[in-house]
Amino acid sequence: MTGPQGLPRLLAGLHADGSPMTLADHRRVHGDLRRTQPAELIQAIDLAGLRGRGGADFPTARKLRAVAERRRAAVVVNASETEPASGKDKLLLSRMPHLVLDGAVLAAGAVGAREVIIKLGEGAHESLAGIEGALAVRDGDPVSFKFALGPDRYVAGEESAVIHFLNGGQAKPTLVPPRPYERGYQGRPTLVQNPETLAQAALIARYGANWFREIGTDADPGSALVTITGAVRAPGVYELAFGTPISDLLAAAGGSTEPLQALLVGGYFGTWVEATRALGLRLSREDLRSVGCSLGSGVLIALGESACGLHESARVIRYLADESAGQCGPCVFGLRAIADATAGLAEGVAHARERDRLLRWTSEVRGRGACHHPNGAARFIESALEVFSADIDWHQSQRCTARPVGLPLGGPAPDVRHALMEAG
């Protein structure tokens, strides 16, 4: 069977009325799941250049090999989706669950696992319903599936937190090593993978590495699911080819509702980029790296000119500080101090020199936690101080009257109203 030409790929066959794709729909679009030899599948994923879509951007084949060479492996689908604005995993699990399940079955085969654990957030009712409905009609899968529902907290989706939780502990990160691929679920080597990564792997297994590379760029092959939200007419999850100009991403989401001042690229561990600069970039690691950012878990937030970037950043950094798992001093106290100082700048009650202290603190919290939480938060606030620098001075003398945008802070993933598939 030949793969879809152009786009959509992952979202091929998605029903516009919001109903899930049945097994028959799924087979009509993608055919039956072809059993693939473990080494052959890992090789195809390697040649395809697939990288993890949960935020860490790690080469998937390398992780598969690391688990495959150990014994008694397990597979965990990390469907925690703790990035507040992200909706892609919810879209996949609730509307096209068979593609994710195919990927999980294939990944389990590749690493020699007989058990797949699907870890979701407690509020992920639609995702759970989608997966349960899909499992009820599948037969012949050579693995058993289990579910685990964990707290909807930001750091609960970090892989060591997922493993700790599945092993009966709190959903908080643990010191690594050992990493999950060495010792994870029940002490076994564990492959932790994001649902989109698994769905992409299911397509590669069917259509091959060459097909995967037909779109995208040499360095960033294939397509990605991007949740586009904020000041756009049709916020939602969009499948786009790597290499697509960011301006086309916004156009796919209906265009902006007002002139933009900045884009937050990569979610709350991401980076604010001035709109004029961001609109000249493409969706590629190389372009994003040139302005110090990465796609993270695929969230893009557009900030209109009528909003106050400083206030919005102060809200988000307060949220991130409150989401610290409370285990590492620099993270707990450092992020709290950074949140307080940012609030002071936003309210205009702190001296502009506070910015220098803030920058010192961000450099001091970096790399000082058991997980990447302080690093992500530091990156976020450093970019805010740079991009909204003029606002800091302005807030010293003027009362800010901008209306809060209400960026999502925690809880289950937002409803996905629009899911459009644009050719890239």
Ligand X SMILES: Cc1cc2nc3c(=O)[nH]c(=O)nc-3n(C[C@H](O)[C@H](O)[C@H](O)COP(=O)(O)O)c2cc1C
Residues that bind ligand SF4 (CB under 6 A): 155, 172-173, 324-328, 331-332, 369-371, 373-374
The reply to whether 53 sits near ligand X by the rule CB under 6 A is yes
Sign of the C-alpha dihedral, residues 28, 30, 31, 32?
A: negative
Of 21, 33, 155, 310, the one binding ligand X by CB under 6 A: 155
Q: Which two tokens stand for residue 241?
A: 């080819």
Residue 348 interacting partner from ligand X, ligand SF4, none (CB closer than 5 to 8 Å by kind): none
CA–CA distance, 416 with 424 (Å, rounded to integer):
21
Beta strands in 97-250 (DSSP E): 115-121, 144-150, 190-193, 223-230, 236-241
Residue of 44, 56, 140 lying closest to 101 (CA atoms):
140
**Which of the listed partners (ligand X, ligand SF4, none) does 157 bind, with a CB threshold of 5 to 8 Å by partner kind?**
ligand X
Stretch that binds ligand X, among 137-145, 150-158, 163-171, 246-254 (CB under 6 A): 150-158
DSSP helix/strand/coil, 176 = coil
Q: Which of residues 308-337 bind ligand X (CB under 6 A)?
A: none
Q: How far apart are CA 273 and CA 275, in angstroms?
A: 6
Q: Which of residues 76 and 321 has its CB atom nearest to ligand SF4 in the complex?
A: 321
- For the bound state, the minimum distance from the C-beta of residue 19 to ligand X, rounded and expressed in Å, comes to 25
Q: How far is the CB of 174 from ligand SF4 (least distance, A)?
A: 8
150 binds ligand X (CB under 6 A): no
- Residue 173 C-beta: closest distance to ligand SF4, Å: 4
Query: Considering CB distances under 5 to 8 angstroms, the limit depending on partner class, which of ligand X, ligand SF4, none binds residue 327?
Result: ligand SF4
Closer CB to ligand X, 59 or 245, in the complex: 59
Residue 376 Cβ vs ligand X, minimum distance, rounded to whole Å: 6
Shortest gap between Cβ of 166 and ligand SF4 (angstroms)?
17
CB of 154 to ligand X, least distance (A): 6
Asked if 58 interacts with ligand X (CB under 6 A), we say yes
Which lies closer to ligand SF4 via its Cβ, residue 194 or residue 324?
Answer: 324
What's the min distance (Å) between Cβ of 165 and ligand X?
A: 12
Say whether residue 54 binds ligand X (CB under 6 A). Answer: yes
Interacting residues with ligand X between 175 and 234 (CB under 6 A) = 192-194, 197
Q: Is 303 helix (H, G, I), strand (E, B) or coil?
A: strand
Which of the listed partners (ligand X, ligand SF4, none) does 331 bind, with a CB threshold of 5 to 8 Å by partner kind? ligand SF4
Residue 327 Cβ vs ligand SF4, minimum distance, rounded to whole Å = 4
The answer to whether 166 contacts ligand X (rule: CB under 6 A) is: no
Site membership for ligand X, residue 296 (CB under 6 A): no
Select from ligand SF4, ligand X, none the partner in contact with residue 56, using the beta carbon and a kind-dependent cut-off of 5 to 8 Å: ligand X
Q: Give the pairing of strands 299-304 and 144-150.
A: unpaired
Cα-Cα-Cα-Cα torsion 335, 337, 343, 345, nearest 10 degrees, comes to -120
Structural tokens at position 93:
């699990």
Work out whether strand 271-274 and strand 260-265 pair parallel, antiparallel, or are unpaired: antiparallel
Q: Which is nearer to ligand SF4, 170 or 306 (CB)?
A: 170
Closer CB to ligand X, residue 156 or residue 307? 156
CB count within 10 Å of CB 328 equals 19
Nearer to ligand X, 256 or 362 (CB): 362
Q: Which of ligand SF4, ligand X, none lies near 82, with the C-beta cut-off 5 to 8 A by kind?
A: ligand X
**Which option in ligand SF4, ligand X, none does residue 165 bind, with CB closer than 5 to 8 A by kind?**
none
Q: Say how far apart CA 231 and CA 226 lie, in whole Å.
A: 15
DSSP string, 244-294: -BHHHHHHHTT-BSS-EEEEEESGGGSEEEEHHHHTT-BSSHHHHHHTT--
Question: Do residues 112 and 38 make contact, with C-beta atoms less than 8 angstroms apart?
Answer: yes
Closer Cβ to ligand X, 85 or 192, answer by number:
192
* Count of residues touching ligand X (by CB under 6 A): 22
Rank residues 46 and 422 by Cβ distance to ligand X and give the closer one: 46
**Residue 159 is encoded by which pair of tokens?**
């892989």
HSE-up of residue 332 (Cα within 13 Å, Cβ side)? 5
Residue with tokens 């409150």: 322
Look at the alpha carbons of 178, 184, 188, 191 in this order and tell me if their dihedral is positive or negative.
Answer: negative
Instruction: Go through 238-265 and write b for each residue having 16 or more CB atoms within 10 A of its CB, e for each that does not.
Output: bbbbbbbbbebbbebbeebeeebbbbbb
- List residues near ligand X by CB under 6 A: 52-56, 58, 78, 80-82, 154-155, 157-159, 192-194, 197, 371-373
